A and B are shown apart, each in its own frame.
Chain A
Amino acid sequence: MGYFNNIRETIRTIFEGMAITASHLVREPYTVQYPDRIDLPIQDTLPFRYRGLLDVDLEICTGCLACERACPIDCIVIEAEKNKQTKEMILRRFDIDLAKCMYCGLCSEPCPTGSIHHTPEFEGADYSLESMVRRFVKAPIPAYKPTKGPETDPEIAPLLTRGLRYLDEFASPGDSK
């Protein structure tokens, strides 16, 4: 008796569905009107791993180029070279074209120190495409060299802590948390 079953199921499911939507009708809306000011700046209410505009902490960048290789649309350009005498990496150029970036987050996953990361900042509108290229290296600077044991430099330690926390909060594949 599929025919009468269909009629019964139609009535039962529409009855239940209408009850569910009616219960939503009297609930508080989840959304916040965006340009309205709320108690906190809206960026502070977003989660730590929110994928907003990309940022780089140059102080802890090792110049390993992992992010450049990971980027599927080549919006990251890094020029680094090894200083022959001191054996340390020199960063000459670190550009991110935010006009191209699609906020996939693949660059920040392989970063060993959490230097390249997304910020909760999302208001990135601008008038020209050129100005959307963020150039992080103003003058050539040496790359960060990981130390054995805990970091001691008081300027770098908090950045590194933050970066490692950022890496820790990636959900590894198969992890359901």
Chain B
Amino acid sequence: MQQLADSLLQTGFLQGVPTEAGYALVIAFFAFVLLNFIMLIAGVTSWLERRVWARIQSRVGPNRVGPQGVIQWLADGIKNIMKEDIVPAEADRPLFKAAPYLAMMGFFATFAVIPFGDGLVVADLNVGVLYITAVTALVVVGILMAGWASNNKWALLGGIRSAAQIISYEIPAGIAVITVVLFTGSLSMQTIIRAQGWAPWDWFLFANPFLCIASFIFFVSALAEGNRTPFDLPEAESELVAGAFTEYSGLRNLLFFLVEWGNLYVIGALYTTMFLGGWQIPPITEQPVIQGVLQFATFFAKSYFLVFVAMWIRGTLPRVRVDQLMTLCWKYLVPITFANLIGAMIWFVLFPNGLAIMRFAMFALGVAVTIYFFSRILFHLRRARPRLRLNPIS
């Protein structure tokens, strides 16, 4: 983006503006565009999640506002904005008011390094992955602050649970990221994508068994870090009313939900970057604009598929208990991910340039598992003899 800012300052319509002011303008413009983008993503995700979830439970879901309810999220948003913003009398006012913005900041800052295309990235930091791991930890501060400042038992419990959960799951997530970094030799998001290819067998997901295991561990830990079901203990409705967000109303409550649904997309984007080849497209066109659009579409489709998988998991798995959550992290994910890292190191020493046969074998295995999975879906459909309706939004 710096080149763009420079070129705008030299030749474009920002000519004559002082350099720093020009940079600030460009930064503000991209921040505005991205903020609107994630609002849209989070909103549409909230509607789609409710529809998908409803269909999994044989319900219909919200279908009243607009065609098939597509602007339900707009109605919800407007309703929340117009509601009274209540601060409890005994609450710690400054902290209570600041908490949603801190959570929002930690989540929004990740978008600075998410690569939507070859040149479509706000800042290609050379420590991109590390940066994301660092700034997402700011969400913990926001949630813990919200729980503490609400002066409410449930909120405090939710906040503490959230802190314990996110800090624990940073470890397997971080080690899984290191496994990828081992094979690229760089923390930059763009370098990680360029180390992969457009074809599925060039993705890191199928590069070798260790990266495949790391990808699953990363996805599970990322779900836990994003407070998603089955790890949504911080806001467990059945036990804690709404957890850390119990006392929040109006716009501040909305911001927390924005963070939750937006985080889902960040998880998908990170996973796509590290394991699914990011924006890589087959070399079919030389046109930079068409290329950019195709790259963006590829990246978006891949990351949104993972958002859909997260919704699907939410419709499938029940919430785990706190002790189960900690057992899963410390007894299973952490040892497995460390063993996996050592295995990946040995693999890297043995085959520094990768092993083509293993790529194709892993890809074939992936296809076989997918086919078996679809056969299981068909089995359950045949056994229930239902009327099919393949249109997911009706």
Residues of A within 8 A of B (CB): 6-7, 14-31, 33
8 Å CB contacts to A: which residues of B25-59? 52, 54-59
Question: Which B residue's beta carbon lies closest to that of A16?
Answer: B376
* B contact residues, range: 20 to 34
Could you show 26 A-B contacts with beta carbons less than 8 Å apart? A15-B373, A16-B376, A17-B316, A17-B317, A18-B316, A19-B377, A20-B316, A21-B315, A21-B316, A22-B377, A23-B377, A23-B378, A23-B384, A25-B52, A25-B55, A26-B388, A26-B390, A27-B58, A27-B386, A27-B388, A27-B389, A28-B386, A28-B388, A29-B55, A29-B389, A31-B59
Residues of B within 8 A of A (CB): 52, 54-60, 63, 312-313, 315-317, 332, 336, 373, 376-381, 384, 386-390, 392
Bound-state CA distance A140–B380 (Å) is 61
Partner of B58, one of A18, A20, A31: A31
Chain A binding surface, main DSSP class? helix
Q: Which residues of B contact A29 (CB under 8 A)?
A: 54-55, 58-60, 389
Bound-state CA distance A2–B237 (Å) is 32
Bound-state CA distance A6–B331 (Å) is 11
A24 with B60: in contact, given A18-B312, A19-B377 (CB under 8 Å)? no
- The 8 tightest CB contacts between A and B, nearest first, are A19-B376, A23-B380, A27-B386, A28-B387, A21-B316, A30-B58, A23-B381, A21-B56
How close is A85's CB to chain B, nearest CB, in angstroms? 62
Q: Which residues of B contact A15 (CB under 8 A)?
A: 373, 376
Bound-state CA distance A23–B313 (Å) is 14
Chain B binding surface, main DSSP class? helix
Q: Which residues of B contact A7 (CB under 8 A)?
A: 332, 336
Q: Which residues of A contact B313 (CB under 8 A)?
A: 18
Bound-state CA distance A22–B370 (Å) is 13
Question: Which A residue's beta carbon lies closest to that of B328?
Answer: A10
Bound-state CA distance A7–B387 (Å) is 35
Question: Which A residue's beta carbon lies closest to that of B379?
Answer: A19
Given contacts A23-B386, A27-B381, 10 further A-B contacts (CB under 8 A): A14-B316, A14-B317, A18-B316, A19-B373, A19-B377, A24-B57, A27-B386, A29-B58, A29-B60, A30-B58
How close is B220's CB to chain A, nearest CB, in angstroms? 10
A27 x B384 contact (CB < 8 A): yes
Question: Which A residue's beta carbon lies closest to that of B380?
Answer: A23
Determine which residue in A19, A25, A27, A31 has the highest number of CB atoms from chain B within 10 A of its CB, and name it: A25
Question: Which B residue's beta carbon lies closest to that of A31?
Answer: B59
Bound-state CA distance A22–B379 (Å) is 11
Q: Which residues of B contact A33 (CB under 8 A)?
A: 60, 63
Question: Which B residue's beta carbon lies closest to that of A13?
Answer: B317
Question: Which A residue's beta carbon lies closest to that of B55?
Answer: A25
Bound-state CA distance A16–B372 (Å) is 11
